[in-house]
Structure 1
Amino acid sequence: MKEKYIVALGRVCIDEYYVTNEWPLMGEKKFVKPLEARIGGMVANAASVLAGYGIKVCYLDLLPKTAPSTASILEDFRNYSVSTQLIQFDPDIAETKCMIFLKEAERVIFITDVKRPPIRLEGQSRKLFFQAAYVYSTLPDLQELDSCDQVLAEYVAGGGKIAVDVEADSFTNAKEADHWFTCCSLVFMNQQAFDKYRGASDDADAARRLLELGPKMLVVTKGRDGCTVISKERVFSRESYRVQAVDTTGAGDTFNSSFLYGMIQGYTPEKAAEFASAAAARAVTAVGPRAGVAKAADVERFIRDYQV
């Protein structure tokens, strides 16, 4: 029987923030204003949001054993009530950094491509992984597991569910993505990823093809334009909450994890989409990748206040 906790599998990043008044052209030089560095990472952001709602989350990643950031990352997870018992350490890898350049409320992100060995699941780590009710990850992060195809197939065969966050740069083509979607239950795609995935197909055909692979639901997020939720039974769209955005970093992570929280709590897809949209809107009103961390009551209060 699966335990009621989630394994979050993904790279933790050191987010270095910079503010610019104007995007440079190639070959130009511009000054930027540095802001305080923060601990982020797509999956780490989502894990912190889920833990804030009271969901038990065990984080799985490979960290550099001696890097100055490692102790800070572990402390940060503890502060957000995310379990670090699955985290592994390697003395020979470098830390992963994100360089985030803000202009008004939008941003450009550069991520360092750090080469790492596969993550091996052995002993107690393997037991904890396979007993989790959900694994939340990204396509590249799933592939960091040693013998990933075998591990994921075994996990799903045992009743586990996988929720995956998909961005356009995380797959080469639809055929490659389809290979991984066969083991997924819930797929989140932003609009750019879905456009790349569907190619010359129309939206309905692309969504139908994806759902035929095994996922129960596809959620396409569209930023200020809301989201579309697609299952074999129905399709509906949800508008976003209009707020004055300060920093959109982590908004998608907040939406995805909040939607997943809603489904775990037994919300209807419509209610889950409303809750996730409110959580994401609330998150972008502050700077930082973890601005979406809140209690469920805070999000419900945002919904009530917004409607007044």
Structure 2
Amino acid sequence: MIIVSDRAADIDPDLLKDLDVHFASLRITLDNHTYESGIDLDGETFYKILGATDSFPTTSQPSAGEFAELYRKLAKTGEEILSIHISSGLSGTFSAATTGAQMAPEAKVTVWDSMTLSCPLGWQVEVAARMAKAGASIEEILKRLAVLRDNCEGIYTLDTLKYLIHGGRISHIKGLLASVLNIKPIIGVDKVTGKYIQLARQVSTKRSIQAIADVVADKYGAGSRLRVQLLHGNNPTGIEILREKMAAVFDCVWLPTVPIAPVLGAHTGAGIVGLAVGPASLFED
């Protein structure tokens, strides 16, 4: 079985060394230049450019035709294809992949809506690829992905709301009010709609970072043994604040910290701090 995903998945490259995963391109345009996220634009370069310009970046998903072309190419191997993508509530990528699969009837494709993004999406891709390598069936993999989708979270806080406002992901009025009051939201992705939701809020960046651990405790309970992966957009100081707080409250199984992908940073700006989190037991068999 072949696993396909997109560049909205944040995955430590070392985890993919022995796994066969193909990624559809997601593009980002900044200062009149168009890049492929994760290919010719890495996080460090992206945030450097972003900090030096007044323009807003824009993103574009792969077309259905591009997915169809990829599926046809992969179908020549004779392998079944599982295509795992960013939440349908946040991007049209899932819809494009579904249409692309219909355009390539010679390929046996199952398209999966992760209902998340970033590292939690990466975790689903990682587990699916490992199970596929071990010979698991599509039914077994989808059952496992459903458990991960229901029990793992991505939780983030932002230093600025202007990029979410510009992209229409939060209302202009609410965003301006929060900015004036210096309110820093803690956000996640709703498991029903697949859209961003506010989980809590604080009145400073440091407090909002620390409050992420409180949100985690409300869901999993203090002292729980959790798989944790930290991520950020050019905010190493914020990451250390979050690491210290999480380590004080939970028994953490740490994965390598990763920079948030440029295609996601385009929606959040620099300064974002967050984590992927879920019960460690889900990854230990």
Q: TM-score, normalised by structure 1?
A: 0.29
Of the two structures, which has the highest relative contact order with CA contacts closer than 8 Å and spacing of 6 or more? 2
Q: TM-score, normalised by structure 2?
A: 0.30
